[in-house]
Amino acid sequence: MTTLDLGFLASHGGSSMRAIVGAIAGDGLDARARIVIGNNGDAPALQFAHAQGIPVRHISAKTEGSEPAADQAICRAFEDSGVAWVVMSGYLRKLGPATLARYRGRILNIHPALLPKFGGQGMYGRRVHEAVLAAGEHVSGATIHLVDEEYDHGRIIAQREVPVLPGDTVDDLQQRVMAAEPGFFVDVLRSLASGGALPNPA
């Protein structure tokens, strides 16, 4: 078993982060939540983490003066907190070169579609599900992948399918995929903690 020292990045609610923190508290995941960083100081994710006793930081180009300075601050905050793995939970900013270099191969993101379809710049939130429905897909889902310099591009770690049902609206599909994501992320991290290495996709 490997205890995972996790750092989180979130922009809004951080639903996967909340599920992971819950799994740690319930002894279902061998991990420690070291810090939660948000680019939005009012993010509910930061409020949740603070209430759980997890250190929080608001770091953005606005707080640091520039995007490169924010990147350096994020990297330092993770290093100073003893973070080994970075989890992106609805973080809507592109990571900078310092953080990417320091944690390459250890930054995990979840995307609300089955990559490589329906990914890339601008493909987030409702836009993803609109595209899935417009394409006439019968299956959607979630993808956990490593993060690199391109949006939704890094190596796929695992995927979980979610059906697209007849008559689905964008809201219907979005809610179904969102419901699957948090437990899926916990399962992947549990596999990582158990084996000490990232699982290979089936």
Active site amino acids: 111
Q: What is the 3-state secondary structure (H, E, C) of 112-138?
A: CCCCCCCCCCCCCCHHHHHHHHHCCCC
CB atoms within 10 A of CB 176: 17
How many whole angstroms separate alpha carbon 87 and alpha carbon 130?
Answer: 26
DSSP alpha helices (H): ranges in 52-106? 61-64, 67-80, 97-102
How many whole angstroms separate alpha carbon 164 and alpha carbon 169?
Answer: 10
Structure tokens at 61: 């180009």
In one-letter notation, the amino acid at residue 166 is P
Residue 127 vs residues 31, 92, 118, 133: alpha-carbon distances, Å: 33, 14, 9, 10
Q: Evaluate whether 122 touches 153 at the Cβ level (below 8 Å).
A: no
